[in-house]
Chain A
Amino acid sequence: MQENKENNTTDTAGYLDMDLLRFSTAGSVDDGKSTLIGRLMYDTKSIFEDQIEAVEKSSKSRGDEHINLALLTDGLKAEREQGITIDVAYRYFATPKRKFIIADTPGHVQYTRNMVTGASNVDLAIILIDARKGVIEQTKRPSFIASLLQIKHVIVCINKMDLVDYSEEVYEKIRKDYLSFDAKLEIPDIRFIPISALNGDNVVDKSEHMDWYKGPSLLWTLENVHVASDRDLIDGRFPVQWVIRPQSDEYHDFRGYAGLVSGGIFRKGEEVVVLPSGFTTKIKSIETMDGELQQAFPPMSVAMTLEDEIDVSRGDMLAKINNQPTIGQDIELMVCWLNVTPLKLGGKYTVKHTTNEARAIIKEVKYKVNVNTLEKNEGDKEVGANDIARITLKTAKPLLYDPYRKNRNTGSLIIIDDFTQQTVGAGMII
C-alpha cells in the first residue's frame, strides 16, 4: 500500500471546516456493495495495515484469489460464515473536504427493514446495479425506499462494467430503463456513474477504460453534492427534550428548555408559541456552555430560556406563531413494518414521535405497496415484516406533527409493541 499522508488532513483549521455527508448503500445480493465500500475506504487510505493484514489472512484461508475487500465490511461472525451482511453496519472515511458516514444495508430477506433503517438518517443513497443484469425487480426496491424516505440525492452506480467490456451501450440501456421506471418516484436529484468496484474504475479516480463517460468519479460526486439546503430552514420547530434547572445559587432562577432544533431558525428576542398549551412568549436567550447564541438552526442542540414563566415540559414544542405544526390525534401514514409479528389491526401500541410519546390504536390499513412494482394492493391487509402500507392511527393524546415530506423530524414516528418493547414499525406521516 502507498503512504497514507497525502489524503489525510493534518491541518487543523481545514479539518474544523469539514462538513459531513451521511449516505446509504443499497443493492441486491452479489452486486458488489461491500466491495465498493471496501474500495472507497482502501483508496482513500481509511483502512489500516492491521485491518488489511487480517483481511488478507481471512481471504487466503477462504481460498479467495484477491484480497476480498468485502471482508472489511462484513462484521459479524455469522455474516462471515454465510458470506452475507445481516444488519446495518456503519463505516467511516474522510477526505480533506468531507467526513462520510456510510450506512451499509444488506441485500437479502430482511432487506426492506434494514434499508429503511439505514436510509432514515442519510442525505444521499447509492444504489448499485450489476451491469450484466440491468434494472431488475431488486433494483426497484431501494429506489422506492429512497423515494419513500425522501432522500433527495441518489447516485446509481452501474457496477461490474469490467465484465461487460466497459460498454457504453450497456450503460445507456440501463440508464434509460432506470429513468423510465423512476418517473413514478419522487427523487429530485439522480446521477449515473459506470464503475468497477473490484478494479476501482470511476470510484476515486476517473477510469481509463471508459473515455465515453464524461462525468465525475463517485468520490468527487460524494465530495461535492450540496446537501445543507436539504434541511427544513423554514418551519420553526423545537421539541422540548429536557428541562435544565440547576440546583445552584449562581443559576437559581435558570430554567432552560433543552432540545435539538428540528426545523427553522430561532432567534433571540423572537416571539414563539408553546404547544400544545398555545401560550405565546419571547425567546429570552439561546444558551450553550460555550456562550449565548443569537440564533439556532437545525441540527443544533441548545437550551432556550423564555421571557415568561410558562409551564413547559418534555414533549411540548416551541414553534413560530404564524407557522405552526398540525395538532391532531387521527394520523395517516406510510408504515414500514419491522417485526416478524404482524401488525394487529385494532391493536394498541405506543408511538414515539419527536420527544413525545402516546398510546395509539391502529384504525385502518388502507393498502399495501408492492415494493418491487410499486403497485397498490387494497385487497391485502396483512402487514408483516418488511411490508410497506398506508395506515391510520388514533393517538390517546394530540401529536404536534408535519407531513414527512416537509420535515423528516416532525413527520416521522416509531411504533413500539407494549409487550416485547420492540420497535415494530417506522412511520412517515402523510
Chain B
Amino acid sequence: MSSYNLSHLDQLESEAIYIFREVAAQFEKPVILFSGGKDSITMVHLAQKAFWPAKIPFPLLHIDTGHNFPEALEFRDNLAEKYKVNLDVGLVQDSIDKGTAVEEKGINPSRNTLQSITLLEKLEEGQYDAAFGGGRRDEEKARAKERFFSHRDDFGQWDPKNQRPELWNLYNGKKAPGESFRIFPISNWTEMDVWQYIKKEKIDLPSIYFSHKREVIKRNGTLIAKSPYNTLLDGEQYEEKVIRYRTLGCMTITGAVESEADTLDKIIEEVAAARQTERGGRADDKRSEAAMEDRKRQGYF
C-alpha cells in the first residue's frame, strides 16, 4: 500500500467525523440518539474524535422502553459521565401514562413501535432539529437507501420516494420550520467494520455483548432472556445457557445467541463465520417483509 493510502477503517472514520462536523455547522440543536448498543457507543466515540480537544457539542437522548437490560442502563450513565455530555432520557412509560401510546397485548409485548412515539415527543419537546442515529445501510433492506442526511417532515416521517439526492460530500441540511433531519454518520459501516473499529480503538462495551450465563426461553426460534416483562406459556420453562447479544434492544424481543465468545477477538471470529444477520434475532423485523420500512416511515430509526 502506498504511503498516501488510508485503510478502509480510516476512510470510514474520516467520513463519519466529516458528517459530525457538518451537522454541528449546519444545525441549531442536534442531538445524538443513544440506544446503548455498540453502534451508538461507536458513534459517541467518533463524535469525540470530531471535536477533540473540545467536548462533544451535543447532548445524548435515550428512549427508554422500560424493558432495557439493566447492564445497558448502567453503562449509559457511566458513558455520559465519562464524555461529560448531557443525557436526556425519554420514557415510553410516560407516553403510555399520558395516553399518547398504548401498550401492546400478548405474551411478549413489544414496546418497540411505541419508542417512535416517545422519540417524536422528545424531539419536539427538546426542539432538536437533527438527531444522529447509529443506523447502518447493511443492516436491513430499507436502510440500504437511507441518506446520511435524511429529511423528515413535520410529523417526523420518512418519504423514501422523495429523498434528496446526495452527491460528493455536499450535504444539504436545509429545511422548513418544524421539519428535521436524521443523521447517520456510520451509514457505510458493516457489522464487521464496527467490531474491528471497536477493537482498534479499544472502545468499552456493555458486558452483555460478551459471553455469559443467563436464563432464557426459546420462543419462535429466538432465545429470550428471563425478565419481569415476559409471561411463560404452558410447557415453557427457563433454562440456563451460555449466550451473548449481537444487538441490544428490549429484553422482551432481543434474541441471544449461544456463544462462548468472551473477548473481542472471539466475537470478530464469530461475526466472520456468522450465518445470520445481526437483526436476524430481532422479532420486530420478522413481523412482515416490509416491517422495517413501515416503522421507518412512521418515524422509527
Contact = CB atoms under 8 A, between A and B. Distances in A.
Interface in A198-225: none
Nearest to A85: B145
B247 to A, nearest CB: 14
B136 to A, nearest CB: 9
Nearest to A229: B2
A115 to B, nearest CB: 11
B5 A19 contact: yes
B170 A412 contact: yes
B239 interface: no
B167 A412 contact: yes
Contact of B164 (A51, A54, A422): A422
Given A10-B269, A246-B54, A251-B53, A75 B144 contact: yes
A135 to B, nearest CB: 28
Nearest to B23: A242
Interface in A226-248: 228-229, 231, 233, 241-242, 244-248
Contacts of B9: 16
Contact of A99 (B8, B18, B48, B141): B8
Interface stretch (A188-196, A295-303, A391-399): A295-303
Interface string A114-139: 10110011000000000000000000
A408 B252 CA distance: 49
Contacts of B48: 289
Given A75-B141, A94-B192, A338 B1 contact: no
Interface stretch (A1-9, A269-277, A318-326): A1-9
Interface string A356-396: 00000000000000000000000000000000000000000
B54 to A, nearest CB: 4
B167 A414 contact: yes
Interface stretch (B30-38, B211-219, B272-280): B272-280
B28 interface: no
Contacts of B273: 3-5, 8, 10
Nearest to A4: B273
B17 interface: yes
B49 A288 contact: yes
A20 B144 contact: no
B187 interface: yes
Interface residues of B, number: 69
Contacts of A242: 21, 24-25, 51
A426 B277 contact: no
A101 B188 CA distance: 8
B167 A116 contact: yes
A398 to B, nearest CB: 18
Contacts of B15: 299, 301
B167 A228 contact: no
User: Main SS of the interface on chain A?
Assistant: mixed
B274 A17 contact: no
Interface string A135-153: 0000000000000000000
Contact of B55 (A246, A290, A297): A246
Contacts of B280: 48-50
A416 interface: yes
Contacts of A300: 6, 10, 14
Contacts of B7: 16-20
B145 A88 contact: yes
B234 interface: no
B54 A244 contact: yes
A2 B13 CA distance: 33
Nearest to B200: A16
A421 B272 contact: no
B53 A228 contact: no
A250 B53 contact: yes
Contact of A58 (B2, B52, B168, B289): B289
B272 A92 contact: no
A258 interface: yes
B145 A20 contact: no
A187 interface: no
B166 interface: yes
A18 B8 contact: yes
Nearest to A261: B14
Interface in B123-173: 137-138, 141-142, 144-145, 160-161, 163-170, 172
Nearest to A116: B167
Which of A114, A244, A412 gathers most chain B CB within 10 Å? A244
Contact of B190 (A94, A113, A314): A94
A48 B276 CA distance: 5
B277 A228 contact: no
A51 B289 CA distance: 11
Nearest to B22: A241
A77 B293 contact: yes
Interface string B270-301: 00111111001000000001100100000000
Going nearest first, the 7 A-B pairs with the smallest beta carbon separation are A20-B8, A75-B141, A246-B54, A289-B52, A421-B174, A301-B17, A8-B272
Interface of A: 3-5, 8-10, 12, 15-20, 48-51, 54, 58, 73, 75-78, 80, 86-92, 94, 98-99, 101, 113-114, 116-117, 120-121, 228-229, 231, 233, 241-242, 244-248, 250-251, 254, 256, 258-260, 265, 287-290, 297, 299-301, 303, 314, 338, 350, 352-353, 355, 408-409, 412-414, 416, 421-423, 426
26 contacts: A8-B192, A12-B196, A16-B196, A19-B5, A19-B7, A20-B12, A48-B277, A49-B280, A75-B141, A75-B293, A76-B160, A77-B290, A87-B163, A92-B138, A94-B190, A121-B169, A244-B52, A248-B55, A288-B52, A299-B15, A300-B14, A301-B14, A414-B170, A416-B174, A421-B172, A421-B174
